[in-house]
Amino acid sequence: MVKSKSKKQDSHLGVKSGGIKFQKEKGQHILKNPLVINTMIEKAGVKNTDVVLEIGAGTGNLTVKLLERAKKVCAFEIDPRMIAELQKRVHNSLILVSGGTVNLVSQLGVAFDPVSGLNAQEVV
Protein backbone atom coordinates (compact mmCIF):
# COMPACT_ATOMS: atom_id res chain seq x y z
CA MET A 1 0.00 0.00 0.00
CA VAL A 2 1.40 3.39 -1.03
CA LYS A 3 1.22 6.14 1.55
CA SER A 4 0.11 9.54 0.36
CA LYS A 5 1.79 12.68 1.61
CA SER A 6 -0.07 14.60 4.25
CA LYS A 7 -0.45 18.36 3.90
CA LYS A 8 1.98 18.76 6.79
CA GLN A 9 4.71 16.97 4.81
CA ASP A 10 4.30 19.31 1.85
CA SER A 11 7.11 21.57 3.06
CA HIS A 12 7.57 23.28 -0.30
CA LEU A 13 4.30 25.09 0.37
CA GLY A 14 5.53 26.30 3.72
CA VAL A 15 3.66 26.36 6.99
CA LYS A 16 0.60 28.57 7.19
CA SER A 17 0.04 30.66 10.28
CA GLY A 18 -1.98 33.84 10.43
CA GLY A 19 -2.25 33.98 6.64
CA ILE A 20 1.51 33.77 6.00
CA LYS A 21 3.08 30.61 4.59
CA PHE A 22 6.51 30.16 6.14
CA GLN A 23 9.25 28.75 3.95
CA LYS A 24 10.83 26.10 6.17
CA GLU A 25 13.34 25.19 3.47
CA LYS A 26 14.72 28.74 3.79
CA GLY A 27 14.97 28.40 7.55
CA GLN A 28 11.86 30.43 8.36
CA HIS A 29 10.24 29.58 11.65
CA ILE A 30 8.25 31.63 14.09
CA LEU A 31 9.02 31.83 17.77
CA LYS A 32 5.62 31.74 19.48
CA ASN A 33 6.19 30.63 23.07
CA PRO A 34 6.17 33.75 25.30
CA LEU A 35 8.08 31.93 28.04
CA VAL A 36 10.93 31.17 25.62
CA ILE A 37 10.92 34.74 24.30
CA ASN A 38 11.04 36.25 27.80
CA THR A 39 13.78 33.81 28.86
CA MET A 40 15.89 34.74 25.83
CA ILE A 41 15.59 38.44 26.64
CA GLU A 42 16.41 37.82 30.31
CA LYS A 43 19.46 35.68 29.44
CA ALA A 44 20.67 38.33 26.98
CA GLY A 45 20.49 40.90 29.77
CA VAL A 46 18.63 43.46 27.66
CA LYS A 47 18.44 46.81 29.47
CA ASN A 48 16.36 49.93 28.81
CA THR A 49 19.51 51.71 27.61
CA ASP A 50 20.39 49.07 24.98
CA VAL A 51 20.19 49.39 21.21
CA VAL A 52 19.51 45.85 19.98
CA LEU A 53 20.24 44.43 16.53
CA GLU A 54 17.78 41.71 15.51
CA ILE A 55 18.58 39.70 12.39
CA GLY A 56 15.59 37.97 10.85
CA ALA A 57 12.76 39.67 12.73
CA GLY A 58 10.02 37.66 11.03
CA THR A 59 6.53 38.66 12.15
CA GLY A 60 7.91 40.41 15.23
CA ASN A 61 7.10 38.17 18.20
CA LEU A 62 10.57 38.69 19.66
CA THR A 63 10.78 42.25 18.31
CA VAL A 64 7.69 43.40 20.21
CA LYS A 65 9.12 42.10 23.50
CA LEU A 66 12.54 43.61 22.77
CA LEU A 67 10.91 46.99 22.16
CA GLU A 68 9.28 46.79 25.59
CA ARG A 69 12.70 46.32 27.19
CA ALA A 70 15.31 48.07 25.01
CA LYS A 71 15.82 51.73 24.15
CA LYS A 72 15.72 50.92 20.43
CA VAL A 73 15.69 47.89 18.13
CA CYS A 74 17.17 47.73 14.63
CA ALA A 75 15.55 44.79 12.86
CA PHE A 76 16.61 43.24 9.57
CA GLU A 77 14.19 41.17 7.49
CA ILE A 78 14.46 40.06 3.85
CA ASP A 79 10.95 38.66 3.32
CA PRO A 80 8.51 41.39 2.18
CA ARG A 81 5.56 39.46 3.66
CA MET A 82 7.19 39.43 7.08
CA ILE A 83 8.09 43.12 6.78
CA ALA A 84 4.44 43.99 6.08
CA GLU A 85 3.30 42.03 9.14
CA LEU A 86 6.02 43.56 11.31
CA GLN A 87 5.08 47.09 10.22
CA LYS A 88 1.47 46.43 11.28
CA ARG A 89 2.59 45.39 14.76
CA VAL A 90 5.25 47.94 15.69
CA HIS A 91 5.53 51.66 15.13
CA ASN A 92 7.88 53.15 17.72
CA SER A 93 11.56 52.79 18.55
CA LEU A 94 12.09 50.38 15.65
CA ILE A 95 14.53 50.84 12.81
CA LEU A 96 13.35 48.35 10.19
CA VAL A 97 15.78 47.49 7.41
CA SER A 98 14.51 45.58 4.40
CA GLY A 99 17.22 43.31 3.07
CA GLY A 100 20.25 41.40 4.19
CA THR A 101 22.82 42.30 6.79
CA VAL A 102 26.15 41.63 5.13
CA ASN A 103 28.21 44.87 5.03
CA LEU A 104 25.18 46.95 6.01
CA VAL A 105 25.62 46.75 9.78
CA SER A 106 28.94 48.58 9.65
CA GLN A 107 27.44 51.26 7.38
CA LEU A 108 24.70 52.14 9.89
CA GLY A 109 27.19 53.76 12.25
CA VAL A 110 25.30 52.51 15.31
CA ALA A 111 26.82 50.64 18.24
CA PHE A 112 24.67 47.67 19.19
CA ASP A 113 24.41 46.04 22.57
CA PRO A 114 22.71 42.60 22.44
CA VAL A 115 22.38 41.03 19.00
CA SER A 116 19.61 38.54 18.23
CA GLY A 117 20.06 36.30 15.23
CA LEU A 118 17.47 33.68 16.02
CA ASN A 119 16.07 33.62 12.49
CA ALA A 120 19.26 34.65 10.68
CA GLN A 121 19.83 33.26 7.22
CA GLU A 122 23.15 35.01 6.65
CA VAL A 123 26.42 35.16 8.52
CA VAL A 124 27.51 38.65 9.54
Taking the C-alpha atoms of residue 6 and residue 2, their distance in angstroms, rounded to an integer, is: 12
Q: Is 91 annotated as a binding residue?
A: no
Which contiguous run of DSSP H or E holds residue 49?
A: none
The answer to the question of whether 118 is labelled as a binding residue is no
The set of long-range contacts for 103-107, using a CB threshold of 8 Å and a minimum separation of 24, is: 104/76, 105/53
Binding residues for S-adenosyl-L-methionine: 29, 31, 56, 77
Binding residues: 29, 31, 56, 77
